[in-house]
Chain A
Amino acid sequence: MNPPDHAFRPRPESGHRRERAVFWLFRMATYFILACGAAVFLNIFFKGAGTVFTASPPFINTTFLTEAPESLYVFEWEGRKREMGDREFRAFKEQNPAAANVKTESFVYSAGGIWPCIVGTVLLVVGSMTIALALGVSAAIYLNEYARDGAFIRFIRLAILNLAGVPSIVFGLFGFGMFVIFFGWNVSLLAGWFTLAFMVLPVVITASEESLKAVPKGFREGSLALGATRWQTIRKNVLPYALPGILTSSILGIARVAGETAPIMFTAAYVVRDKLPWEVERIADFFFQGVMALPYHIYVVSSKIPQNEYTERVQYGTAFVFLVIVALIATASILLRNRLRNRYKW
């Protein structure tokens, strides 16, 4: 009782098995990437959560988020092991004069918090993205709207493309030579802003150009045919529609600016700084001061001081906070982009 033969019966040689194998290969590759990403994030999350969150109310380690880094002192006192930050330990010694000669172990940067680093990173991101967007969008407008294609423009595009491939440490050296030494800005916010801005410029320019290209030609022609100048057309009838796309690309730029260590190593970052950036005498000094920054802090506590159980807490805590901050800035940009996108649709 065989079923009746028909034309569309699967045949053994028809490649079903290979089809399935290839499909699984691609699926596995995707899952593998997902697993790697999850491993990184979960690792940082679980190790960092111990530093950032506490078991008792208010459940968030406010010291870690609002204080400057301090040295950690570990010592035995009345039969118990005590861990204290620098200031706490000094106050303790005043209360208990007998503690003055107690035998302690000290670990730099392992107590206190990372508030100055958070402030520094936010300042670096805001400043450098402002510069990068201003320069990058202007350049993109020139290249896409004004410039006539020719050998020179092709050369500029090639240069931009090459710039994207330059390692960030080279940008760091360039910034050091150019802004820190030649312009005499020293290690400062301003030097860091420009160095980071130059690093993300290729991304911003390329993406802005793509966004401008995506605005239909008809909008430009319609505007010009009504007697608008080119600049009026760009300002009123091209740029507003391209802005969501430009913002999308700058989100990638934000993550990069916030995360790179090499460019700010020589140009803007201090290992430690007592004052917060706004504690300056003159407003001009604000731009010419170095700052602490999260990625550089991670670098310092991971490779410049002896490693032990106490430094690990700071490392992962800092990494955790760092990821959260980048995520917050990116979310803000996405929300802004969505608002703009809803305003202009075509």
Chain B
Amino acid sequence: MVTAALPVMESPASAPAGASSAGPASDAPPKTADRPAGVAPGMVRAPTSPTLIDIRNLDFFYGRTQALHDINLKIEHRKVTAFIGPSGCGKSTLLRCLNRMNDLIDGTRVGRGTIRIHGVDIYQPDVDVIELRKRVGMVFQKSNPFPKSIYENITYGLRLHGKTDRAQLDEIVEKSLRGAALWDEVKDRLDASGLGLSGGQQQRLCIARAIAVEPEVILMDEPCSALDPVATAKVEELIQELRTRFTIVIVTHNMQQAARVSDRTAFFYLGRLIEYNDTRDIFTNPANPQTEAYVSGRFG
């Protein structure tokens, strides 16, 4: 099951098993690889979307407790994939495996299986976690702007990676804030603290901070669970815009949200992937009775 390990993340490694087009390098996304990006969710898409993240037979443990059982999942390039399921089903755990944030928790380990991004097993020893996290950004459940100015929040990641040219930074700050639909609200107070913003603005600031470093994938861990409906609507709208440029994986408790924003939905229960399909099929025509019970609100 384990194929020969591909050397580095840097090379836009060709997708495994003869998938037609290679994943684009993050630095210069080729304009050629155009499939109908930005189709409204739930619509029928071309069935041959290339796989960006390929999870195979994944077992994951917190100490002796097994949190994930034999997960097999292919996340497609420039699609919004939603993970749904009741609390403790392992959806957040799986999300945090994708940029190895679980490494920060003592006693966690991948027991079996692989996660490949661009065909590279991200848990093999010669993968640099720093490089991985640059390419796979994350937005957290609790918005966590740093107690710095809005400007410094956005430039934080860029400065880490050695960008110090002021004009260039200014440009990226504006671009990122526009990208996060926040520019018009904060353009006059970039030097104000990021913590002075409202909850929804803070979360969009965190999204802006994540896209400023130009990742390929953005992981969102229940990004709207602490927001009111208006702020939630804005973030969802934003996700619609981001899906043309990024591959988005979103964990959510809110099934309507999953139905609204995602192209593909994975339903988890007790650490197992129960069903994974097009969002419309999951919500209208689930194959599994457990999925049906959950999405129709009978439990969870």
> A residues near B, CB below 8 A?
148-149, 216, 218-229, 232, 236-237, 241, 344-346
Contact = CB atoms under 8 A, between A and B. Distances in A.
A233 to B, nearest CB: 9
B137 A225 contact: yes
Give the 7 A-B CB pairs with smallest separation, nearest first.
A218-B144, A227-B134, A226-B157, A225-B138, A346-B147, A222-B144, A227-B133
18 contacts: A148-B106, A149-B106, A216-B144, A218-B144, A220-B104, A221-B140, A222-B206, A225-B99, A225-B101, A225-B133, A225-B138, A226-B157, A226-B160, A227-B131, A227-B213, A344-B148, A345-B147, A345-B195
A227 B104 contact: no
A265 B144 CA distance: 51
B133 A222 contact: no
Given A225-B133, A226-B157, A344 B144 contact: no
Contacts of B157: 226-228
B156 interface: yes
A226 B101 contact: no
A221 B131 CA distance: 15
B131 A224 contact: no
A218 B140 contact: yes
B166 interface: no
B130 interface: yes
A227 B132 CA distance: 8
B161 interface: yes
Contacts of B161: 227
Given A149-B106, A227-B161, A229-B130, A221 B144 contact: yes
B134 to A, nearest CB: 4
Contacts of B101: 221, 224-225
A228 B131 CA distance: 9
Interface of B: 99, 101, 104, 106, 130-131, 133-134, 137-138, 140, 142, 144-148, 156-157, 160-161, 193, 195, 206, 209-210, 213
A87 B210 CA distance: 74
Given A148-B106, A345-B147, A226 B193 contact: no
Contact of A237 (B106, B140, B146, B195): B146
A241 B146 CA distance: 10
B147 to A, nearest CB: 4
A65 to B, nearest CB: 43
B156 A236 contact: yes
B147 A226 contact: no
A230 to B, nearest CB: 9
Contacts of B156: 223, 226, 236-237
B98 to A, nearest CB: 11
Contacts of A345: 147, 193, 195
B237 to A, nearest CB: 23
Which of A216, A218, A229 counts the most chain B CB atoms within 10 A?
A218
Nearest to B103: A224
Contacts of A222: 140, 144-146, 206, 209
A157 to B, nearest CB: 16
A229 B206 CA distance: 19
A223 B138 CA distance: 10
A226 B146 contact: no
B104 A221 contact: yes
Contacts of B106: 148-149
A345 B142 CA distance: 17
Contacts of B142: 218
Contacts of A225: 99, 101, 133, 137-138, 140, 210
Given A226-B210, A226-B213, A229-B130, A219 B146 contact: yes
B137 A241 contact: no
A226 B209 contact: yes
Contacts of A227: 130-131, 133-134, 157, 160-161, 213
